[in-house]
Amino acid sequence: MDNKSYQDFYFKKAKMQGYRSRSAFKLIELNKKFNFLKKGIKLLDVGAFPGGWCQVASQNVKNGQIIAIDKKKIIQIKNVKIIEGDFLDENTKKKILKFFNSKIDVILSDMAPNTSGNKSLDTIRTNELCLSILEFSKNTLDKNGVVISKLFMGEDFEEIKAYAKKTFQKINFFKPNSSRDNSRETYIHCNRLNS
């Protein structure tokens, strides 16, 4: 499937199924592989705009709590608390912790910076965001919790992998079929914090 066909296929599929973005299918595939969207969990979705991942989460997480956070304004989604703000800002992190008032079960991040056109720089910036998610999870995630974050294959990939191995008992990497073939993105799945 060439790039244009890919875009048309997932774009049309998202429209037909009522998802706000094609990336919803990435989360569906990730959950099918790792089975982390469960009833009653506390879930944080970072970099959530326009809300495709939250739509999938809200369909699967019954009687749970979901927060979506992004610098861009997200239109309301049923059973999702939306925070407009920068995840890297300490005040935003305080709002997250205040809302949950306990450890978080699942932290998701499909965050990526605005692209600069420089692949190497974009990779570094995206991977810095991934690292910030892993660092945040050390003190906020339930000990049996799950983190899933986007990262790019690049020069600092091994550094993130090493940090994740030190922090978590289990780590995996997975590239969904709904990711573009020519994309360097993959997703890290981490669970069970080291005590």
Q: Note the pLDDT tens digit of each residue in 99-152.
A: 999 999 999 999 988 777 888 888 888 999 999 999 999 999 999 999 999 999
Structure tokens at 56: 């999938």
Please tell me the distance from the alpha carbon of residue 91 to that of residue 43, in angstroms, as a whole number: 19
Does the annotation count 150 as an active-site position?
yes
Q: Distance of CA 16 to CAs 5, 28, 105, 106, 119, Å?
A: 16, 16, 31, 28, 32
**Annotated catalytic residue, options 4, 150, 165, 175:** 150
Task: For residue 66, count CB atoms less than 10 angstroms from its CB and return exposed for 0-12, middle for 13-18, buried for 19 or more.
Answer: buried
pLDDT surpasses 60 at 88: yes
Q: What is the pTM of this model?
A: 0.92
- Determine what percent of the chain is predicted with pLDDT higher than 90: 73
Q: What is the per-residue pLDDT across 167-183, written as a single tens digit (0 to 9) for each? A: 999 999 999 988 877 77
pLDDT, greater one: 147 or 15: 147
Which residue segments constitute the domains of the chain, with CATH numbers given?
23-193 (3.40.50.150)
pLDDT tier at 11, thresholds 50, 70, 90 = low
Confidence (pLDDT) at 129: 95
Q: Of 3-7, 26-30, 36-40, 115-119, give the lowest mean pLDDT range.
A: 3-7
Confidence (pLDDT) at 28: 95
Confidence (pLDDT) at 133: 97
Task: For residue 195, count CB atoms less than 10 angstroms from its CB and return exposed for 0-12, middle for 13-18, buried for 19 or more.
Answer: exposed
Q: Of 189, 127, 193, 142, which Cα lies nearest the Cα of 166?
A: 193
pLDDT surpasses 90 at 13: no
pLDDT surpasses 50 at 1: no
